[in-house]
Chains A and B, each alone.
Chain A
Amino acid sequence: MVAKRSRAELARLREEFRARADQAFDQMFGSDGQNGLVTFTEREDRACEATDALARWLMEEHLVLDPATDPGVQVDCPICGGPVRYDSPEQAELEIREFHTRRGKVEYERAARRCPRCRKIFFPVG
């Protein structure tokens, strides 16, 4: 399997992460280094919220990068073994899966194909 994204896309992703990390920093420190957070509970809650959001974003983007989320134009049906060809990967319906994780809910998409012979929907891997 080959990673789907180019080096440029990875660089763009890194920038987005940095922007989000900046946002998390601002939520914590604000302009005065305290941002109105006084009690330990307030500080702990804010730090956890900010980093949980970052963790969820990391998980989701990492899943998007998985080459298995869309295997390409032609795949083999897991039932009859015959080829299932779509003119373009975009024709494959993307099914959203939601997951509860230790850091909240994340979503990822996976490409679904339908075999015209077996009339079954399947989720191939690249």
Chain B
Amino acid sequence: MRPAVVRVAGRFFSLLDERLKVGTEGYSPRLLAKIEYAGANEGSFEQARRSLEVLADLSMSTKHVWRITGRLGRERGQQRDAAVTAMQAGDMKPRHAEPPVVAAIHLDAGKIQLRQSGGGAGVRGPHWADTKVGCFLTYTPISGDRDPQPDPPAVFLDPPRVMRLCREMERVRSMPAQESRASKATCDEPLLVEEQPQIERAERLVRTAVATMESVEPFGWMVAAEAKARGFYEAALKAVVGDGGNWIGPLAEFHFPGFTQVLDFLHLLVHLYAAATAGHRGRAKPAWSLYERWLRWAWSGEVRPLIAGLQAECERLGPPPPRASDDDPRRIVSLALEYVKSNANRMDYANYRRAGLPITSTAVESLIKQFNKRVKGTEQFWLEGGAEAILQVRAAYLSEDDRVVQFHDHRPPGRAVGRNRLRPAA
């Protein structure tokens, strides 16, 4: 006879439940997976409840959907933390024997609305907080060693589309859900449609996601653990792509020393356009001409002339006064110069294209939008623990590997149902 096992002091488990691989929730694992799917992918827990009722003939309360999704999210978070511990101990192994050829980690931050816990019903102390998101992508290698696109795409040289792109980027970055929704409603046409189909591009393969409310240091370890699990450290070509945020460079240098660091080209473009137009307000032609010259240098990775050009513009306008407003042209141009200087070693775009590495962080921007569909709404105010949990389940469903199924197939048993509540045996 096999004895039962006490996992944690004070708790014990039914080995029959372990044998059946069932948890304590009163739902079969397949049904739990459906509840988690609805909780993670519908816009709200109420909508998830309705979907379960209609699509799975499962009647349950909104609160129950929320609790189960939260529990599974916390369990996924524990698994992630265990992977981090293994990574820190040097015990982490890649999931697959064959490493990817081209791999890129895209990093960025998003926004979420939190509220204070306690104090009864209603939202108290609402405030915005940062989420941190990592997008892990593998790509097919490209053939040859020539730059597949030496000239900038037409979209970056078309004034109305550049203006719209810059507006979109500012809106998405600067704020809340209703603004980005409003802008979406007015701009149906995709911005970055490429009109040059003959250009060879690296094909995107498998995406996985990591997201957290935690600070940069723990996030860095989460990113490292995921990269290790996916064999990114062993990839032939590997990059970290970011928008130049002051936390991304140090994170990449600490955790990914052998990786190529790439500055998102679109953020650079926004800075260059802002600087060129700020210095020539009301004079569209010279502004555009300056922008185009800078853009072409940037596109081909010619950082020195670009810095010299921005420097010259700074000198022409003069230094910004100490308390210059945000829209002061001298401040805008000076910030652009600072941005280019501090990211100069991440702008070798011609070589990145030759290698088949991505030069924009649109992948993580798009991923953040997909997170936002679930977590960021005008009426959504999360408690910090709840936000972390929903990010974990959302990340699992936005990942294109088998982690959703693997989790449910190997879910550890929870506390035994019926603990201490049966009458003593006679």
Contact = CB atoms under 8 A, between A and B. Distances in A.
Interface of A: 63, 66, 68-69, 71-72, 74-76, 78-79, 81, 86, 91-93, 95, 97-102, 110, 112-114, 119-126
B31 to A, nearest CB: 6
Contact of B16 (A69, A75, A114): A69
Given A66-B16, A123-B15, A113 B30 contact: no
A99 B422 contact: no
B31 A95 contact: no
Contacts of A92: 425
Given A69-B16, A122-B12, A123-B17, A81 B26 contact: no
Given A99-B26, A99-B27, A100-B26, A121 B16 contact: no
21 contacts: A66-B16, A68-B19, A71-B1, A75-B1, A76-B1, A78-B5, A91-B426, A97-B417, A99-B22, A101-B31, A102-B30, A102-B34, A102-B56, A110-B16, A112-B425, A114-B425, A121-B422, A122-B14, A125-B2, A125-B4, A125-B15
B423 interface: yes
A3 B383 CA distance: 49
Nearest to A123: B14
Contacts of A71: 1
A120 B422 contact: no
Nearest to A96: B418
Contacts, number: 95
A107 to B, nearest CB: 11
Contacts of B18: 125
Interface string B405-426: 0000000000011111111111
Interface size class of B (residues with CB under 8 A): 35 or more
Contacts of B56: 102
Nearest to A114: B425
Interface of B: 1-6, 12-20, 22, 26-28, 30-31, 34, 56, 58, 416-426
**Residue with the greatest number of chain A CB neighbours at <10 A, chosen from B16, B28, B31, B420:** B16
B425 A86 contact: yes
Nearest to A80: B6
Given A79-B12, A93-B425, A97-B417, A72 B22 contact: no
Residue of B12, B58, B416, B419 with most chain A CB atoms under a 10 A cut-off: B12
Contact of B6 (A78, A100, A123, A126): A78
Nearest to A69: B16
Contact of A98 (B1, B12, B15, B26): B26
* List of 8 A-B pairs having minimum Cβ-Cβ separation, nearest first: A78-B4, A123-B14, A125-B15, A68-B16, A101-B28, A76-B3, A114-B425, A100-B27
Nearest to B425: A114
Contact of A95 (B26, B30, B418): B418
Contacts of B423: 93
Given A68-B15, A97-B417, 12 more contacts: A78-B3, A78-B6, A78-B12, A79-B12, A95-B418, A100-B31, A114-B424, A121-B418, A124-B1, A124-B3, A124-B4, A125-B18
Contacts of A91: 425-426
B416 to A, nearest CB: 7
A102 B31 contact: yes
Nearest to B17: A123
A102 B27 CA distance: 9
A86 B15 CA distance: 19
A36 to B, nearest CB: 23
A124 B15 CA distance: 6
B420 A123 contact: no
Nearest to A101: B28
Contacts of A110: 14, 16
Contacts of B6: 78-79
